[in-house]
Structure 1
Amino acid sequence: MSVVPGLLEEKVVIVAGLGGIGNGLARRYADEGARLVVGDLDEGTVSRAVAELDPVRVLGTSLDGADEDSVISIVRLAVEKFGRLDGIHVNFTNAADAYLPGGVVDLPLEAFDEVMRVNTRGFVICAKHAIPPMIEAGGGSIVFTASIDAYNGAGTRVSYAMSKAAELALMRHIARKYGPKGIRANAIAPGLIWHYKFDEQWMPEGIVEQTRARQMIKSRFGNPDDVAALGALLLSDDGSFITAQTISVDGGVTFRP
């Protein structure tokens, strides 16, 4: 009996940023046959994620996505261990102003600077160092985890929303500039994706009820598997004619042409 290969069979993929959504990405990409290098600031999170997967095909490492040396290290590890790089999903984020009630007038600039350092500078660093080995391998795919906050116009979280909009601009630049060299770039914009971290942290009053009211799909919230399913397509050859797109995974909260 023949075995049907996965979407990512033998592709070498980096997952930069684990945790709630990231662990789901790693599981799905591994199930689809990818050889993975996964990284996160929290070494315990890395260890737990790798423990669930095949240690021969999945490597874990410490990663500070906003530190250039750290990003260079994870890219080098992927190439040295598996011989090439076919894709990267940049999934880390900083939300220092996510639960601050004020707008830009009340925004602490240290929170703004930290969000931009991680969510904007960090994504630039990952693209800068992942693109060359993917070109050398004959092409590849970059996926960013953005957010519907990039175009929602919320009255709070201005730093976070600005950083996510910047990620979309970077994604489109990559698709335009490096598309002729075989590089595709896309972004996933999740809405409320429920994962284990929500059981560990405080949520602003009313946010869950408000989100459910705005969703067209009322039966449940999104989960990491929903994001991972789309990510697997975008990283795969089945998604080879999709580039420069932002696709929402939000149960119908947003309507965009």
Structure 2
Amino acid sequence: MKGLKGKVGIVAGGGRGIGAATARRLAEEGAHVVIGDLMGDWAREVAESIRSTGGTATGIELDGTKADSQAAIVACAVETYGGLDFYHSNLAGGTGGDNDILDCPEDVLDLSFAINTKSHFLATQAALPKMLERGGGAMIYTSSGAASGGAPWQVAYPMTKNAIHALARHVAAKFGKKGVRANVICPGLVLTEAVRQHLTDEYVERGLAAVPHVRLGQPEDIAAAVTFLASDDGAWVNGQVWHVNGGAQMRD
């Protein structure tokens, strides 16, 4: 894709799954990638695998729910590679105990908010000043099809994922004239390590049956969309929510 060679980017939540696949794809396109993950060893393993194939990457520990940790990963990108051009904010989780509105404890809501909303807010606060110094950049957020799916079995996760859409539109509207783009990816059912570990074969089979496609998603499918949005090929995409889901939800 155009314009990624030599660019500097961060992938938060890059130790496994979608984030790891995205970091590898960005490095293949010539970007310098800083990979952050709560499991710092995972981030460093992904970075090492990228370097072993000729790419440029650094892995560090990141607690995305803490402002000082977000500031530290941005500082790492700037100090190691000279600036920051894009940030893929890819943290998600906190679904344990998240049932219907009458059966969702307050602490479950608080945890979901911290991981799925606050982390993206803090990432943006840390990254934007450095992007503005470069004359622009791209914020790319991972949300979820759950944000618009209307599932009866979850309430906090869809609520807190929806907030990301408002954040991205705010950033696009406020800073678009200064060269910053902000967009959201909503994956469908993607067969990451976590999905394979926690979902039953029956659930996966039902998921495939519900999708008008020949297969379910792979992390590389989302990585391709994120990489496009980070690249110059995606230069005129701003303030959008993209559903990358094999057709599971068909939305304007």
The question of a shared fold, defined as TM-score above 0.5 by the shorter chain, is answered with yes
Give the CA deviation at 1:8.
1.3
Look up the equivalent residue of 2:143 and give its one-letter code.
Answer: A
Out of 170-179 and 53-62, give the one that drifted further. 53-62
Q: Deviations over 1:47-103 (max 9, x none)?
A: 221121127721111000010000000001101111111000000112334x75x31
Q: Supply the AA of the counterpart residue of 1:253.
A: A
User: CA deviation digits over 1:6-57, x for unaligned, max 9?
Assistant: 6511110000112111110111000010001110000221122112112772
Q: Deviations over 1:108-129 (max 9, x none)?
A: 1111110101111111000011
Secondary structure in 1 matching 2:186: strand
191, 194, 199: which one pairs with 1:203? 199
CA 1:228–1:150: 2 relative to 1, 3 Å:
same
| In the alignment, structure 1 residue 248 sits paired with structure 2 residue 248 | no
User: What letter matches 1:228 in structure 2?
Assistant: A
Structure 1 residue aligned with 2:94: 95
Match of 2:208 in 1: 212
CA distance in 1, matches of 2:177, 2:44: 38
**Alignment CA distance shift 1:198-1:94 (3 Å):** closer
- The alignment status of 1:42 with 2:39, answered yes or no, reads yes
Question: 1:58/1:6 Cα in 2 relative to 1: closer, same or farther (>3 Å)?
Answer: farther
Deviates further, 39-48 or 226-235: 39-48
Q: State the 1:205 CA deviation.
A: 7.6
Q: Distance in 2 between matches of 1:129 and 1:247?
A: 24
After superposition, where does 1:56-95 map in structure 2 within 5 Å? 57-95=56-94
CA distance in 1, matches of 2:228, 2:3: 7
Q: C-alpha offsets along residues 182-226 of structure 1, whole Å, 9 cap, x if unaligned?
A: 100000100010022334x33268432332122110x21100110
Contact 2:101 2:155 in 1 (8 A): yes
Q: In structure 1, what is the Cα distance between the partners aligned to 2:133 and 2:3?
A: 22
Is the 2:64–2:119 Cα contact (8 Å) retained in structure 1? yes
- Seq. identity, %: 38
Aligned length: 249
Match of 2:232 in 1: 237
The whole-number CA distance in structure 1 between the counterparts of 2:133 and 2:151 is 41
Q: 2:142 matched to which residue of 1? A: 145
1:12 corresponding residue in structure 2: 8
Deviates more, 1:247-256 or 1:43-52: 43-52
Q: Note if contact 1:7-1:33 (Cα within 8 Å) is conserved in structure 2.
A: no
TM-score under structure 1 normalisation?
Answer: 0.92
Instruction: Say if 1:7 and 1:233, in contact at 8 Å, map to a contact too.
Output: no
Corresponding residue number in structure 1 for 2:113: 116
Unaligned runs of 5+ in 2: none
**Aligned residue for 1:156?**
153
Moved over 6 A (4+): none
Letter of the aligned partner of 1:168 in structure 2?
A: H
The answer to whether the Cα contact below 8 Å between 2:142 and 2:185 also exists between their aligned partners in 1 is: yes
Alignment counterpart, residue 22 of structure 2, candidates 25, 34, 40: 25
Cα distance in 2 between the residues matched to 1:209 and 1:220: 10
Change in CA separation of 1:205 and 1:161 when aligned onto 2, cut-off 3 Å: farther
Could you report, residue by residue, the CA deviation over 1:206-256 in whole angstroms, capped at 9, with x for unpaired residues? 432332122110x21100110011111100111100011111111100011
Conserved 8 A contact 1:15-1:37: yes
Unaligned runs of 5+ in 1: none
| Structure 1 stretch displaced more, 6-15 or 139-148 | 6-15
